[in-house]
Structure 1
Amino acid sequence: MTRPDDDTVPARRAVLVVVTVLGLLAVLRAPAMVHAGEGMPPGLTRSLVLGAGHGLDRVSRPLGLDGPDRWLASAFGHGGAAPSATTSELVTAGDRDRTSPGLVAPGPPPLEPLRRPSAADPLRVLVTGDSLTETLGPAVTNAAPATLRVSTETHYGTGLVRPDFFDWAARARAQVAELRPEVVIVAMGGNDGQGMTLPDGTVLAAGSDAWAAEYRRRADVIMRIWTGGGARRLVWLSLPPARSTRLDGYFRQLNTATAAAAAGVGGARYLDLVPWLSRGGAYSDYLPDASGTTALARSRDGVHLTRDGARIAAGHIVATLPGQTPADQTPAGQAGLGRPG
């Protein structure tokens, strides 16, 4: 008679171990569960995940059980102690009525030209934002002339709707102080198709008119931090079309909101990349590059750019920046970066 292997784990015990591990993960990473639920489309699954996540979060946070989650967030560049969803400068700053529907914001004042860059003293350019910058940053660096010195700072899974997860207002101020960029190129919004919480606790549903207006106001706040009243230039990149119809609808709203915000901020410019990252405005995996050769431009997720897609975008991004040709070093060429496009 064959004896069972002593190392064999009974099925019941294995199931118990798995359930225990999943339970511990749920408790220790309750904030991540809430974050994931907020990004889900409306429905039963989202309600269940958020119900469980908020309940566990209320228990784990006072007991300090969310410490591992905060440590992991810090390790992956999401900062240390985050503000609440309603105390960040991103949420509290600015005049909320300025972005009310039907109200037209005044145009930005005239700007002084940037200094003339050279290969010996190039302009400091920062590419920053969410995971969209992972391929865009290196592509812009490779496409830039010697008169531009480009660096990239990527913060994965971030955006303007969840300052409790990552506070972009605080990070933007730190970037300005630490890196002293003269031009900032921003690509973000891919994670922002979720509700936003106002200081009074009101939650704006993703896709609503109020949500779009609040996003425009937050974009205005962050753009003003990066531009510093026109002392620096900002290029805000449009989101490319998404394969998902639901996400694409959000992206179109976010593009409209950020374009409107840039129009009222001195030194800011909105750069619409959709003509080059789509086929007639519609999503396509394959797109022509500068030579006319068709390239796989989009990743499997239908949101991000491949390296070839980033190269397609980079050529048009660099074309908007000063310091690439003698003509761009004139006051007129540099002032052009300050006008919304």
Structure 2
Amino acid sequence: MNRRTAHGAVLVALVAGVVALAAGACATDVEAPAVAQGTSATTAAPTTTSSVPPGGRRPTAEDPLRVVLAGDSVMNGLAPAVATALNEGGESQVSYELAPSIARDTASRVLWQQRLEQDHPDLVVMLIGTWERGDANFNPGDPAWASWYQEQVLDPFAEMVTGTGARILWVGMPAVRDEADTLQLVALNSQFRALAERDDRVEYVEGGDFLNGPDGGYTDELPRADGTPERVRRLDGLHLCPGGSERLAIPVVQYAQQEWEVAVGYNWQNAPWREPPTLDHPEECPPV
């Protein structure tokens, strides 16, 4: 039975046990991860309407919701916001896994299996695209590519992750400045969405719903609630600025709240993760 694909409010924020971090939202592609710090532990508990949340259990401080954020350097920019929101709620334990592309070879799969056995995650949040397009077999123009990608790459990976009891929340890449690259990302996103439609252990959220411009394409800036412009993407036209990280974290955090009713950190959107040293290369996010 196909499961609904979540396109709007469903996701969220950064790291308690960071392993390695893909290029912190800049042109380079391997740096130390930015770790959120200094936020208040004040939490807001969600309203409970049933004894057992949809996720199957109620996390506590002693037995927290275990979340792995996996992806490339774009996820590196998102992770601090998500980790702060969830970790500061006191009922979640969020970590980061460097995963520029989906595990295909034996060595990568073994590393993933070890991480799954070590962390026993309830939720794995995926955000990839840039490096996934670099695979030698990536050819969305070939009519046979989609079925090959599903059968040889996506389905085996999803089975490996969900076979441990984890759910997957797959965040589709938003548009990037280069239009040709965006078209390739759209092709990948369609496959991630299709995975969620055929596997009820996987959910999909369209990242472009939160970061694309009014025309559905790339934009550097979006309006705040008061109407003033805010930069959401870095100068490279790919990575996230704090404003973009906050927007993309919201559906992730909401998904965790919806499924497990976990508390989130008070005012996480304005926590120190938005500033150095957690924010690396702030010069790439100049005011608009």
Normalised by the size of structure 2, how large is the TM-score? 0.64
Report the Cα distance in structure 2 between the residues aligned to 1:300 and 1:237, rounded to whole angstroms: 22
Match of 2:16 in 1: none
Higher relative contact order (CA 8 A, sep 6+): 2
Residue 314 (1) aligns with residue 254 (2): no
Structure 1 pair 182–210 and aligned structure 2 pair: CA distance change class (3 A) = same
Task: Please report the TM-score for the alignment, with normalisation by the length of structure 1.
Answer: 0.55
One-letter amino acid of the counterpart of residue 155, structure 2: D
Instruction: Please give the per-residue CA displacement for 1:196-243, whole angstroms capped at 9, x wherever unaligned.
Output: 34xxxxxx63543333333333122211211117x2111011011111
1:152 aligns with 2:96: yes
2:239 corresponding residue in structure 1: 304
Structure 1 residues 129 and 195 mapped into 2: Cα distance closer, same or farther (>3 Å)? closer
Counting aligned pairs with the same residue, the percent is 28
1:256 offset after TM fit, Å?
Answer: 0.3
Question: How many pairs are equivalent?
Answer: 209
Contact 1:159 1:168 in 2 (8 A): no
Partner SS for 1:196:
coil
2:188 to 251, 254, 265: 254
Q: Which ranges of structure 1 fall in alignment gaps of 5 or more residues?
A: 1-72, 78-111, 198-203, 327-341
Whether 1:117 aligns to 2:59 is: yes
The one-letter amino acid paired with 1:138 is P
Partner of 2:75: 133
- Amino acid paired to 2:208: V
Change (3 A) 1:187 1:168: farther
RMSD (Å), alpha carbons? 2.9
Answer yes or no: is the 8 Å Cα contact 1:190–1:303 preserved in 2. no
Counterpart of 2:170 in structure 1 is 236
| Shift in Å, 1:171 | 3.0
- Displacement, 1:119? 3.2
Kindly provide the CA deviation profile for residues 114-156 of structure 1, in whole angstroms up to 9, marking residues without a partner as x: 211123322111101111211111110112232222111224x
Whole-Å Cα distance in 2 between the matches of residues 167 and 115 of structure 1?
33
> What amino acid does structure 1 have at the position aligned with 2:133?
G
1:249 and 1:316, CA in 2 relative to 1: closer, same or farther beyond 3 A? same
Kept in 2, the 8 Å contact 1:215–1:254? The answer is no
Q: Deviations over 1:304-333 (max 9, x none)?
A: 21222111111121101133458xxxxxxx
